[in-house]
Amino acid sequence: MQRVRLQVNGSVREAMVEPQLSLLRLLRDELQLTGTKEGCSEGYCGACTVLVDGEPVNSCLFFAVDADHKNVTTVEGLEDAQGRPHPLQSAFVQEGGLQCGFCTPGMLMSAVALLEANPSPDENDVRLAIAGNICRCTGYQAIVSAVVAAAAVVRKQDAQRSARERKPMHSRP
């Protein structure tokens, strides 16, 4: 057993883990964060996608011990401090970007990583970013539309935020 200490969705968590334990099992079984799903356990379906230091990983193939001293974000960490859904979550709801919902948490995490890297993705960029997340229900189109729509919302929010942040600097005497 080995001690790991990591940040999960902003909170410090500690656990004693076997060296072969996956991050997925740590999240689901030890930390009771069951929003992250297990679809294939072999890194192909992407349902278990989480962010480790901002990078999307298949948590089923990522050792828990390798998450030591890292920042992990799961679907449970997407809402803002006031509990408001992330623009991606809202867009998935509005655009019909989910059906059974099992791929959705992983799909969202891949999309979060995409928008961090590329705030203005086109449909093709989105498809490439979620190529490792299999959805059997939707045919992907509604998901792609949702991500493109959410990107516009995020850009607008960022612009407003930076405008707010700039203002006091300019008004400083």
Binding site for other proteins (CB under 8 A): 28, 32-45, 47, 74-76, 78-79, 85, 88-90, 92-94, 96, 98-105, 108, 126-128, 130-144
Q: Which is nearer to other proteins, 42 or 165 (CB)?
A: 42
| CB of residue 172 to other proteins, shortest distance in Å | 40
| CB of residue 66 to other proteins, shortest distance in Å | 22
Question: How many Å apart are CA 4 and CA 68, to the nearest integer?
Answer: 5
In 3-state terms, what secondary structure has residue 57? strand
**Inter-residue contact 123 to 140 (CB < 8 Å):** no
| CB of residue 89 to other proteins, shortest distance in Å | 4
Q: Which is nearer to other proteins, 38 or 68 (CB)?
A: 38
Q: Which is nearer to other proteins, 96 or 167 (CB)?
A: 96
**Inter-residue contact 37 to 103 (CB < 8 Å):** yes
Question: How many Å apart are CA 11 and CA 130, to the nearest integer?
Answer: 27
In 3-state terms, what secondary structure has residue 21? coil
Question: How many Å apart are CA 166 and CA 155, to the nearest integer?
Answer: 16
Q: Which is nearer to other proteins, 113 or 126 (CB)?
A: 126
